[in-house]
């Protein structure tokens, strides 16, 4: 097919999902399936392109005060909710004051300084903050915290139990059709979408296919057209890329991307001692993990921010290349000499069976650490037990860790490495504590000067990487696999696809 062929109206896309989403309200979950469905049903004030530049969506234009505390959005006038009610600034006010700030799991982090949203007229919304918000626009797209929900549906109800969480009413390019639990979610084209001529597709079906091999076969048989990156292990993409009728696209530019690491319990010995943590970093052969577990895909991590996050990342940090001798010296210096049988101390690695990668990493870790005299007991649990031990009870020594880095590096590091966020179920389960890092994080979060903020972002990465709160292993981009008959998929920073511009060749 010729590139640049004219988009065609009509057709259906079938997207495979590895599990049934718990809700279709993107303000309540970070699950990619819900994001992707929500990106077609709901709109946001702005949307981000692959370079993380904001573009108009429900906001035609916006103005930001020089102190970054006042954000004024001028709204489109022709948007309607799928039930026919006109969209106004009251919806924006309600969405951010009542839902995003209070009920979104990340809401207190992103909208903690929000004083209020004013609606001076139906088509103007003004966000007022007590502190400068240099990263706000990165959090106003539909995924994470930005979806705009209908006030007339949610106001005065129990928002968590509202039926619209399962039968969403949005302003987006597709209307909700039906949700058969355990089977599929169907969306139908919205003929009254506020952007004329969009969307191209008539329908979008999100079908639950739990088994990874069955998803691959279904893509090959054309029973499904698209597999979400969240459901694709990086090595699954190798055979997929060899097929002629399938295209695999990685989010590479400046995207929210995966990071893999081994969390160390900084709260108690032996990992309370920074020398022991550094020794573990030296003892692990990252190169081997990259080759044997990730098959040379992705990049070896150097610090707390993924290399795929663009200019926010810096390479200028202390690196811990594989060096067992240095590891042994550090362990001797830290007061852990080799004892009987050459063993310095015994420790545990706690992981869950949901990731094939970590099962393999566990084996390599055991061998690598045994070589420097650390004996590792491997503990594997189901996700919920693992979560309870590691996140809630902090009953672990070493634990598998994986997260999405971005879109804002400072916010990511704040969630991850601020000592205030080390309570039960919070991200800093390694209980990492560095007062310098805490201070710099707080300052960078409200720094209005972009150049200064970037410099602080880089300094933070150097500080954290040197402390080895966790052993950074891999940075991985998010792959998406789809039949090449489909065109117009956008490569946004979230790895979830907006279906508005997608069309299928006849």
Partner 1 sequence: MARYIARRLLLIVPLACAVVVVNFVIVHLAPGDPVNILVGEYGATPQFQAELRHRYGLDRPLVTQLGIYLQHAARGDLGYSLYFNESVVGLIASRLPATLLLMTSQLAIALGLGVTLGVAAARRPYSLTDNCASVVALVGYSMPVFWSGLLLILLLSTTLGWFPSGGMTTVRTAATGLAGAEDVLRHLVLPAITLALVNLALYVRLTRASMLEVLTFDYVRTARAKGLADRAVLVRHALRNALLPVVTVTGVDLGRMVGGAVLTETVFAWPGVGTLMYTALQTRDYPVIVGSFMLVSVAVLLANLLVDILYAVLDPRIQYR
438 sits near partner 1 (criterion: CB under 8 A) = no
Distance CA 274, CA 297 (A): 30
19 sits near partner 1 (criterion: CB under 8 A) = yes
Q: How crowded is the C-beta side of 3, counted as CA atoms within 13 Å?
A: 0
Q: Is the CB of 14 or the CB of 46 nearer to partner 1?
A: 14
Out of 152, 235, 387, 419, the residue judged to bind partner 1 by CB under 8 A: 387
506 sits near partner 1 (criterion: CB under 8 A) = no
Neighbours of 367 (CB within 10 A): 11
181 sits near partner 1 (criterion: CB under 8 A) = yes
Distance CA 176, CA 187 (A): 5
Out of 76, 249, 415, 505, the residue judged to bind partner 1 by CB under 8 A: 415
Size of residue set near partner 1 by CB under 8 A? 56
319 sits near partner 1 (criterion: CB under 8 A) = no
157 sits near partner 1 (criterion: CB under 8 A) = no
Q: Is the CB of 57 or the CB of 236 nearer to partner 1?
A: 236
Phi-psi region of 36 (alpha: psi -120 to 50; beta: other; left: phi over 0): alpha
Out of 239, 296, 339, 424, the residue judged to bind partner 1 by CB under 8 A: 424
186 sits near partner 1 (criterion: CB under 8 A) = yes
- Binding string, 90-129, against partner 1, x = CB under 8 A? ---------------xx-x---------------------
402 sits near partner 1 (criterion: CB under 8 A) = yes
> To the nearest whole angstrom, how small is the minimum distance from the Cβ of residue 209 to partner 1?
4
- Using CB atoms within 10 A of its CB, is residue 7 exposed (0-12), middle (13-18) or buried (19+)? middle
Q: Is the CB of 276 or the CB of 361 nearer to partner 1?
A: 361
> To the nearest whole angstrom, how small is the minimum distance from the Cβ of residue 394 to partner 1?
13
- Alpha carbon separation from 189 to 12, 34, 149, 205, 318 (Å, rounded): 10, 18, 19, 11, 52
N-term to C-term CA, the chain: 10
Out of 23, 72, 419, 501, the residue judged to bind partner 1 by CB under 8 A: 23
Out of 63, 155, 214, 343, the residue judged to bind partner 1 by CB under 8 A: 214
- Binding string, 353-382, against partner 1, x = CB under 8 A? ----------------------------xx
The runs of H, that is alpha helices, within 135-254 are 151-154, 212-220, 237-241
Nearest 5°: phi and psi at 59? -95, 120
- Using CB atoms within 10 A of its CB, is residue 455 exposed (0-12), middle (13-18) or buried (19+)? middle
SS3 373: coil
Out of 14, 126, 372, 445, the residue judged to bind partner 1 by CB under 8 A: 14
240 sits near partner 1 (criterion: CB under 8 A) = no
Residue count (the chain): 506
> To the nearest whole angstrom, how small is the minimum distance from the Cβ of residue 116 to partner 1?
20
Q: How crowded is the C-beta side of 347, counted as CA atoms within 13 Å?
A: 25
> To the nearest whole angstrom, how small is the minimum distance from the Cβ of residue 413 to partner 1?
13
The candidate with the shortest Cα–Cα distance to 37, out of 248, 252, 228, 202, is 228
Distance CA 23, CA 25 (A): 5
Q: Which stretch binds partner 1 (CB under 8 A): 178-186, 251-259, 287-295, 315-323?
A: 178-186
Distance CA 99, CA 330 (A): 50
> To the nearest whole angstrom, how small is the minimum distance from the Cβ of residue 218 to partner 1?
5
Q: Is the CB of 53 or the CB of 183 nearer to partner 1?
A: 183
165 sits near partner 1 (criterion: CB under 8 A) = yes
5 sits near partner 1 (criterion: CB under 8 A) = no
Residues in 31-70 at the binding interface with partner 1, rule: CB under 8 A: 31
Report the interhelical angle of 435-445 vs 450-467 (nearest 10°).
160
Q: Which stretch binds partner 1 (CB under 8 A): 203-211, 295-303, 306-314, 333-341?
A: 203-211
Question: In this structure, are residues 40 and 205 in contact, taking their beta carbons and an 8 Å threshold?
Answer: no
Q: Is the CB of 59 or the CB of 218 nearer to partner 1?
A: 218
What does the angle CA 23 – CA 414 – CA 311 come to, to the nearest 5 degrees? 95
Q: Is the dihedral of CA 151, 152, 153, 158 positive or negative?
A: positive
Out of 211, 245, 436, 449, the residue judged to bind partner 1 by CB under 8 A: 211
User: Is the omega angle on the peptide bond into residue 380 within 30 degrees of 0, that is, cis?
Assistant: no
30 sits near partner 1 (criterion: CB under 8 A) = yes
Which positions lie near partner 1, rule CB under 8 A?
12, 14, 19-20, 22-23, 28-31, 105-106, 108, 160-161, 165-166, 180-184, 186, 205, 207-211, 213-214, 217-218, 220-221, 223, 381-385, 387-389, 391-392, 402-404, 415, 421, 423-427
């Amino acid at each position: 097919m010729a590139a640049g062929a004219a988009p065609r109206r009509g057709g259906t896309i079938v997207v495979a999902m590895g599990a049934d989403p718990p809700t279709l309200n993107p303000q309540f979950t970070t699950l990619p399936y819900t994001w992707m469905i929500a990106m077609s049903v709901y709109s946001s004030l702005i949307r981000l392109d692959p370079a993380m530049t904001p573009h108009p969506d429900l906001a035609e234009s916006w103005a930001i005060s020089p102190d970054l505390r006042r954000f004024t959005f001028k709204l489109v006038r022709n948007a309607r909710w799928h039930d026919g009610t006109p969209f106004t600034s009251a919806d924006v006010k309600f969405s951010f004051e009542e839902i995003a700030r209070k009920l979104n799991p990340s809401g207190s982090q992103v909208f903690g300084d929000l004083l209020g949203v004013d609606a001076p007229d139906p088509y103007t919304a003004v966000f007022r903050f007590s502190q400068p918000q240099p990263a706000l626009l990165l959090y106003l797209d539909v995924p994470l915290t930005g979806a705009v929900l209908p006030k007339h549906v949610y106001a005065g109800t129990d928002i968590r139990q509202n039926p619209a969480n399962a039968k969403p009413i949005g302003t987006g390019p597709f209307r909700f059709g039906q949700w058969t639990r355990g089977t599929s979610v169907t969306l139908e084209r919205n003929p009254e979408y506020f952007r004329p001529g969009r969307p191209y597709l008539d329908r979008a079906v999100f079908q639950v296919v739990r088994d990874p091999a069955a998803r691959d076969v279904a893509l090959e048989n054309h029973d499904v057209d698209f597999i979400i990156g969240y459901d694709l292990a990086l090595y699954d993409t190798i055979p997929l890329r060899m097929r002629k009728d399938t295209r695999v696209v990685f989010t590479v530019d400046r995207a929210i991307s995966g990071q893999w690491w081994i969390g160390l319990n900084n709260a108690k010995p032996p990992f309370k001692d920074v020398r022991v943590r550094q020794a573990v970093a030296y003892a692990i052969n990252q190169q081997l993990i990259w080759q044997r577990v990730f098959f040379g895909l992705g990049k070896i991590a150097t610090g707390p921010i993924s290399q795929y996050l663009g200019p926010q990342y810096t390479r200028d940090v202390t690196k811990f290349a594989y060096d067992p001798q240095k590891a042994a010296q550090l362990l001797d210096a830290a007061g852990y000499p080799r004892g009987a049988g050459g063993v310095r101390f015994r420790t545990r690695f706690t992981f869950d069976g949901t990731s094939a990668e970590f099962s393999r990493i566990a084996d390599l870790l055991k061998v690598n650490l045994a070589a420097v005299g650390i004996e590792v007991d491997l503990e594997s649990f189901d996700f919920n037990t693992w979560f309870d031990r590691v996140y809630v009870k902090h009953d672990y020594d070493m634990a598998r860790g994986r997260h999405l880095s971005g879109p804002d590096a400072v916010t990511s590091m704040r969630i991850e490495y601020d000592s205030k966020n080390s309570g039960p179920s919070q991200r800093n389960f390694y209980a990492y504590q560095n007062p310098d890092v805490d201070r710099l994080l707080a300052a960078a979060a409200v720094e209005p000067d972009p150049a200064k903020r970037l410099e602080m972002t880089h300094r933070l990465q150097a500080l954290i990487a040197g402390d080895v709160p966790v052993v950074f292993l891999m940075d991985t981009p998010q792959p998406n696999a789809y039949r090449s008959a489909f065109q117009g998929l956008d490569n946004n920073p979230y790895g979830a696809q907006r279906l508005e511009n997608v069309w299928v060749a006849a």
